[in-house]
Amino acid sequence: MGIFEPFRAIGYTTSSVPFSVQRLGTETFVTVSVGKAFQIYNCAKLSLVLVGPQLPKKIRALASYRDYTFAAYGNDIAVFKRAHQVATWSSHNAKVNSLLLFGEHILSVDIEGNLFIWAFKGIDQNLSPVGHITLESNFSPSCIMHPDTYLNKVIIGSQEGPLQLWNISTKKKLYEFKGWKSSICSFVSSPALDVVAVGCADGKIHVHNIRYDEELVTFAHSTRGAVTALSFSTDGQPLLASGGSSGVISIWNLEKRRLQSGELKLMWIFDTSDGDPRLLRFRSGHSAPPQCIRFYANGRHILSAGQDRAFRLFSVIQDQQSRELSQRHVSKRAKKMRMKEEEIKLKPVIAFDCAEIRERDWCNVVTCHMDTAQAYVWRLQNFVLGEHILKPRPENPSPVKACAISACGNFAILGTADGWIERFNLQSGMSRGSYVDMSARRSFAHDGEVVGIACDSTNTLMISAGYHGDIKVWNFKGRDVKSRWEIGSFGVVADDLIIRLFDVVASRIVRRFEGHTDRVTDMCFSEDGKWLLSSSMDGSLRVWDVILARQIDALHVDVSITALSLSPNMDVLATAHVDQNGVYLWVNQSMFSGASKVDSYASGKEVVSVKLPSVSSTKGSQDEDFDEPIAENPQSKDASAFTTRDLQIPDLERNKPIEPPKKPERAPFFLPSVPSLSGDILFKPSGSAEEEAKGDEVEDTRIKSGLAPSQFVQLLHSSAEMKNFSAFTDYIKSLSPSTLDMELRMLQIVDDDEQEPEKRPELFSIELLLDYFIQDFIHGETIRCQSRLQDKARKL
């Protein structure tokens, strides 16, 4: 058990497994594979209506009938009624690669040539196949189809090229087509009787009459790759759509026997007068792994930049709100220049920052791109690329490597590969000065590449880090250096795998966290600043308590984390992983469990191995109720099998109080009281006049000097000089338990090992604290006289 529990993965739309389409009532649904799970979309708005549970292996084939879904994985076939698995068919001894709905039966074909016939009516009583056909050893099946009006007959295509016509009722082969000396990848029956279209691995499409074994027409794809999908138009237009392994859909005119239109993707509608299609709707995710992620809109959305050159906004709550940010007429420009869309898009994002405060006023996101000497701004309110391009030092351009937006949302600060840092106004896009270190060898901010930039919440300080290990704190407005650290090369820091935490006000290292065994890939603070989360290529995610200066939780996954982000409410953690195209969500157990202390659910120094979140939530879709009808079309009874669902974070009520909080009883004005952690009133015990006077003196000292954390150390040092710790004792008694705990733990400051012990003031403070414990040890005489207590004291 740990702080973060796997919840679900977002950003997955479909995989390369062919989808299954079915019509229920007046609505159409499409079932797609997403790795080890399946998803069902309503085609009316491409809204996600159902997510199936996780299977042991990746899905290889899909079929659907009404509220049944059949998914082949490995050697087995899982049968689902809505999202509930009702059966598993396990007669195959090889991987199943094809499924075909055949009346009230399902036909399954494996790679070794075994065809099984399954009846899914009354499935609870019978889990065995009702028929079995063994194909010839030199015939490797690749796909299967039922030609319209051919009773009890199917055509099976092979990797060798021939096709076979079988009667599954008599289990006899009726005819064999010679083929075209190329592997059969797909075929489909046409609205015209006896005519089918066959797609081959060489990119050719053959429209064939199977009654007379005659070829009618042949088309060839202009792009290389196999023909993986085919479909005839059923509304009277003589059109054939073909999909290739390159991802392009081509439309062929059967009457004119030529290409009607090409380069189609996603969901299109044919309602124009000339028969050309237009884009209707689409759903998509990253086609390459995300590199940077960040929560946005109070944790409701996630900004994600991927290696596929796409900049996306994912909704944590509703899948329909996820979208790609527009880069302004990419499709039109690509078509005009005869280039691929990916080549027209901006290069992959390597860093970005955002500020919600100015979302309605002007652009509020800035991005740095690979090997690009300029930064781009985005207007999230309109989900579009902004009008300004930020060009630092245009007379001598250098790639932008780091960026940050000020807390006020007015300025963007950019750092380049040659060490230049410049500030821009986001509203106008104009430069507002550069940060130059006058003491450096050249008039730049750093001698090498700027690898990181950050701003404080009050626009007072700006912190920058250079590749050669120099960290500098700048006056945000004056743009001059206030302080700097030389911590050596960042390569050395990465090699020793230590995370160092700096106090920019005190200008020193205050924490060092050790535990990672490989390169640290990303870090982020919690909103309250108490936790620091870090990920590494060793596959671990570690949670560090900044105040306690120790690791409080750690988990290990099989696929290393490359980027992470914690929501502002600290209830959800998002991670991106190596070679994974989705974004993975983890739920913070402490926000939804009744545990009051971190230690009750955190793993501490132990590293717990966990699995990545699945596409469906960890509770599983079986717990969901899908019996409610769809609100958009309540009159459709068949469509009630699926209902639009938004995957919510579980137990959103969190730790709901049993009863409303009670107002504390008011103490009489003449009775002095002290604060407590529980909120109850605690009254000060009456003491002698001398003790009260001494307490008043301590209280006056606290009021005059304020409650600065250094007062604890100041009183400790002054009491040690006077060799009288009574004032220090009174001061400790006046502190609340939480304040005292913080003061004691703040002494635990870790400096660099290179610093000499004599120059480390916190060690002297700890030494004085030990002197205080020695002199004012409570119950010291009793412990000295009891041997049993002396053993405990030695351990202490």
* Residue 113 Rama label (left phi>0; alpha psi -120 to 50; beta): left
Contacts by residues 238-247 (CB-CB < 8 Å, ≥ 24 positions apart): 239/270, 239/275, 240/190, 240/197, 240/205, 240/207, 242/197, 242/199, 242/205, 244/203
Q: Which residue has the higher pLDDT, 698 or 748?
A: 748
pLDDT at 744 over 50: yes
> What whole-number distance in Å separates Cα of residue 746 and Cα of residue 729?
18
Query: Are 239 and 218 within 8 A, CB to CB?
Result: no
> What whole-number distance in Å separates Cα of residue 37 and Cα of residue 34?
5
pLDDT at 677 over 70: no
Contacts of 563 (CB under 8 A, 6+ apart): 290, 291, 292, 293, 521, 522, 535, 575, 576
Neighbouring C-beta atoms of residue 557, cutoff 10 Å? 19
For the stretch 395-418, pLDDT in tens is: 999 999 999 999 999 999 999 999
H or E stretch at 21: strand 20-24
pLDDT at 725 over 90: no
Q: Which residue has the higher pLDDT, 170 or 692?
A: 170
pLDDT at 307 over 70: yes
Kindly indicate the confidence band of residue 16, based on its pLDDT and cuts at 50, 70 and 90: confident
Express as a percent the part of the chain with pLDDT over 90: 48
pLDDT at 651 over 80: no
- Cβ-count burial 435-451 (b if 16+ within 10 Å, e if not): bbbeebeeebbbebbbb
pLDDT at 58 over 70: yes
pLDDT for 548: 86
pLDDT for 666: 55
Query: Are 402 and 386 within 8 A, CB to CB?
Result: no
For the stretch 108-156, pLDDT in tens is: 999 999 999 999 877 767 788 999 999 999 999 999 999 999 999 999 9
Query: Are 650 and 47 within 8 A, CB to CB?
Result: no
Kindly indicate the confidence band of residue 97, based on its pLDDT and cuts at 50, 70 and 90: very high
pLDDT for 696: 45
Strands 163-167, 153-158: pairing kind: antiparallel
Q: How far is CA 115 from CA 60, 108, 136, 164, 623, in A?
A: 16, 6, 11, 13, 34
pLDDT at 572 over 80: yes
Kindly report the CATH number that applies to the domain delimited by 137-280: 2.130.10.10
Query: Are 415 and 424 within 8 A, CB to CB?
Result: no
pLDDT for 476: 93
Q: Matching CATH topology for 10-134 and 137-280? A: yes
CATH architecture under which domain 10-134 falls = 7 Propeller (2.130)
Mutual orientation of helices 726-734 and 689-705 as an angle, nearest 10°? 70
Kindly indicate the confidence band of residue 640, based on its pLDDT and cuts at 50, 70 and 90: low
pLDDT at 57 over 60: yes
> What whole-number distance in Å separates Cα of residue 294 and Cα of residue 567?
8
pLDDT at 287 over 90: no
Query: Are 451 and 465 within 8 A, CB to CB?
Result: yes
Domain boundaries, the chain: 10-134, 137-280, 290-442+475-610, 714-746+757-795
pLDDT for 710: 56
Kindly indicate the confidence band of residue 694, based on its pLDDT and cuts at 50, 70 and 90: very low
pLDDT for 777: 62
pLDDT at 569 over 70: yes
DSSP 493: H
pTM: 0.75
CATH architecture under which domain 290-442+475-610 falls = 7 Propeller (2.130)
Q: Please provide the average confidence, as pLDDT, over all residues in the chain.
A: 82
For the stretch 460-489, pLDDT in tens is: 999 999 988 888 999 999 999 998 887 654
pLDDT for 758: 60
Query: Are 633 and 16 within 8 A, CB to CB?
Result: no
pLDDT for 597: 61
pLDDT for 208: 95
pLDDT for 628: 35
Kindly indicate the confidence band of residue 164, based on its pLDDT and cuts at 50, 70 and 90: very high
DSSP E strand stretches across 341-399: 349-354, 365-369, 375-379, 384-390
pLDDT at 713 over 70: yes
